Amino acid sequence: MDSDGTRDTRGTHANPVPRPAGPQDARAVPPRPSLPPGTPDLPPGAPPRPDGSAFVSWLRAPRPEAAPGVWRFRYTPRPAEEPERIPARQLLSGALIAFLVGWLLWSLLWNGYLGGWWVVPLELFTPDSWRHSDNRVGNAFLWYGYYTLIAVAIMLVVGRLGRWGEVWRRWGPRAWTQAVGAPAVERAPAPEQDPAQWPQLRAAGAPEAADRLAAEAQAGLMRDVDQARIARAWQGVRSGRHSMASFAAAVVKDGAAACPHPSGERDLPARHARHDLVTGQVRLGTTADDPRNPYLYRGTGLALGPELLGTSLLAVGPAGSGKTGSLVRPLAESLCLHALAGRASVVVVGAAGAGLGPADSYDVVVRIAHPESVYDLDLYGGTTDPDEAAAILAEALVGDLADPHPGSDSRRSTTVLAQLLGPFRAVHGRFPSVPELRRLLDGAPGPVAALRKDLTATGHESMLRELDARERQMGHPGDVGSVLADRIALLDRPAFAGFFDTSGQSRPFSLKALDHPVRVRIDLPERGHADASRILARLVLAQFTASVTVREDRSLFACLLLDDATGVVTPEAVRAVQRLRSANAGVALTLRTLDDVPRPLRGPLLGAAGCRMAFAGLTPWDGQDFAEVWGKEWTEARDVTDRQIIAETPAGKALHVVRQVITGKAPTARAVTVRQVERERWSASELAHGVPAGHAVLSLTTVKGDHAPPLLVDLRGGAGRV
């Protein structure tokens, strides 16, 4: 553990597959969780569970397939269309009237007012000896049995007409039991279908490993991260990346602690949201019971997972609307749990003190401009190719100055940087530091002459041509070198003196490490260095997109969470976001307003993000952009017209006067016209003024192409047990 609470993970980004030949990294058994997985922690002092019943119950809970964004844990599927619901007053009055009608009909039959035809079937299908015997008990049984049959038939008919079944379902004992929240009795599934018994391991010929895991689950020594981590390692065995023998030996030896994360951690210090690692979801809130939401979603939990984040997410809302607390932090927490399970790597970028989780939840914490930061940030993304390094750095420095139209780029800036980075690396074996690069871009004769002399001495003729081209461009008007020098000067400040070191004396973190399940938090120094923070945010985004798209193993989900993307959206960034879906990666960007994005890029940005989120307090002009991208839908419009009834007879006029005195309104006749019209799903005015505080409108798209329409979601209490 380092002095600032971060962990030293150098050399620990190895694949978390068990290594049975040597000592394992398993730690001592962690304290037993006091709550079922996926629920927030209890206050300190709460007694722990005596066994693993809570974990086993959580693992066995049903998780049916559902529409995108639905919280699948114990989800009860609903019909796609809302069933016709009769008002309670109408339903009860109809049931009572049906009962009275049935009673009246039976009374008329019993008292003979309708004749004796209703006993003809009995006379036709029974012998006379049965009806006229001297056995009084037999006669009573025959006749009263027939009367009972007729009464039951009348009851069934009037009950169907009066909807007695609906009355029973709505107000019967079962409805009361569900209303008070009585726990449902869960039956243990068959052993071959019980996930707590690990049937897939038994079927593959590893019964000892399955017995060890089942025993630890029953004893309360396993938690949801352990189950997900071992399931991930087993997935690697099935795909052929790992050995079955080594996996089984590690599980038999270490049980739930097998296949550890490189950090050795098996859980986060604390959880603030509700997670389900079986489905990979984190619950954000509840879909509002609003007519604008499809009936399928109303009242259900709203959750996000890698299958949705893989299409990237854009969230827009003013300051204080809850973007960080109700969206970014739960997502960061969920992805950190996925990283501990070996499923994902995550990079969280935000201002220092933004509340993105404690340092103990991360493997690497880069505190730029903080003198006690253990880690540094690699300015060149860990690459050794000068052209690639120049492209990344040019995007960070002047990407926001490029023509904001989607087809533009920063090739000139990339060329200028490559003309300097290549010769410098050829001479020194490394890229220049920030002060050295600034002096080269300024065009001062001393640094350029020294670099030329070193190139001549080492015989790099091709690099001399690069430097000659740079010197010819320095004197021309419109040279972008001066602009690059001004931008790099923002990083050449005393606050950053100990950062971006290229001499090998610091511990720089490179996003090349995203090939491994690593958890990273980067704190940007927004106070007093706003422009530098935007450059660094663009740098991280450029390095992230460049790193994840060239990974060989794309089974590991990679995600970048950028808490404030102001000044980060550039034409190249939009193109890079569009490429992430095929690389099993995604980004989540938050903005205070779409005005922070150049107007030509707003449409492409909204189109590149598969998930779009508009928080309460949105401006009407921002709402207009969301309304356009969400489009229109066909809906029923009902036009109601009230026409006054004019009586022509004296009796009718008198009746109308009496009716008006009683009701206070003139007698009218109502005409209803139903039309199919095309309307916006959410208009700009509704987004600006119709979204309550603590709510947001969210549309979703999965990596497979399934999508959910814009949903009004209540984000308050998203971590609660619902």
State pLDDT tens for residues 101-112: 889 988 988 888
Confirm if 368 and 498 have CB atoms less than 8 A apart: no
Under DSSP, the state recorded for 196 is G
pLDDT reported for residue 37:
57
- Nearest CA to 316 out of 612, 687, 603 is that of 612
C-alpha 427: how far from chain center: 48
C-alpha 39: how far from chain center: 17
pLDDT band at 619 (very low <50, low <70, confident <90, very high): very high
User: Nearest 5°: CA angle at 548, between 545 and 551?
Assistant: 145
Total Cβ atoms within 10 A of residue 645: 12
pLDDT at 30 over 60: no
Percent of the chain with pLDDT over 70: 89
For the stretch 449-458, contacts whose Cβ atoms lie closer than 8 Å and that sit 24 or more positions apart, written own/partner, are 451/423, 451/424, 451/427, 454/427, 455/423, 455/426, 455/427, 458/426, 458/427
Q: How many CA atoms lie within 13 A of 400 on its CB side?
A: 20
pLDDT at 593 over 60: yes
pLDDT reported for residue 92:
87
* Mean pLDDT, rounded, for 685-696: 94
pLDDT reported for residue 596:
92
pLDDT reported for residue 19:
31
Q: What is the pTM of this model?
A: 0.82
pLDDT at 332 over 90: yes
pLDDT tens digits for 373-393? 899 999 998 889 999 999 999
pLDDT band at 21 (very low <50, low <70, confident <90, very high): very low
pLDDT reported for residue 186:
60
pLDDT reported for residue 603:
93
Total Cβ atoms within 10 A of residue 148: 10
pLDDT at 232 over 50: yes
* Mean pLDDT, rounded, for 354-358: 88
pLDDT tens digits for 474-498? 877 778 888 999 999 999 999 898 8
- Distance separating alpha carbons of residues 61 and 615, to the nearest angstrom: 32
* Mean pLDDT, rounded, for 247-272: 93
pLDDT tens digits for 533-569? 999 999 999 999 999 998 888 889 999 999 999 999 9
Residue identified by tokens 């209540």 is 714
pLDDT tens digits for 411-462? 888 999 999 999 999 998 999 999 999 999 988 788 888 998 988 888 877 8
* Mean pLDDT, rounded, for 223-245: 92
pLDDT at 137 over 80: no
pLDDT reported for residue 181:
52
What per-residue string of b and e applies to 232-252 under the rule 16 or more CB within 10 Å gives b? Answer: bbbebbeeeebebebbbbbbb
Comparing 197-206, 357-366, 631-640, which segment has the lowest mean pLDDT? 631-640
Confirm if 412 and 469 have CB atoms less than 8 A apart: no
Comparing 9-13, 196-200, 404-408, 626-630, which segment has the lowest mean pLDDT? 9-13
Comparing 176-180, 193-197, 626-630, which segment has the lowest mean pLDDT? 176-180
Helix (H) / strand (E) element for 591: namely strand 585-591
* Mean pLDDT, rounded, for 626-651: 83
pLDDT reported for residue 34:
45
pLDDT at 580 over 90: yes
Locate 542 and state its tokens. Answer: 């450029």
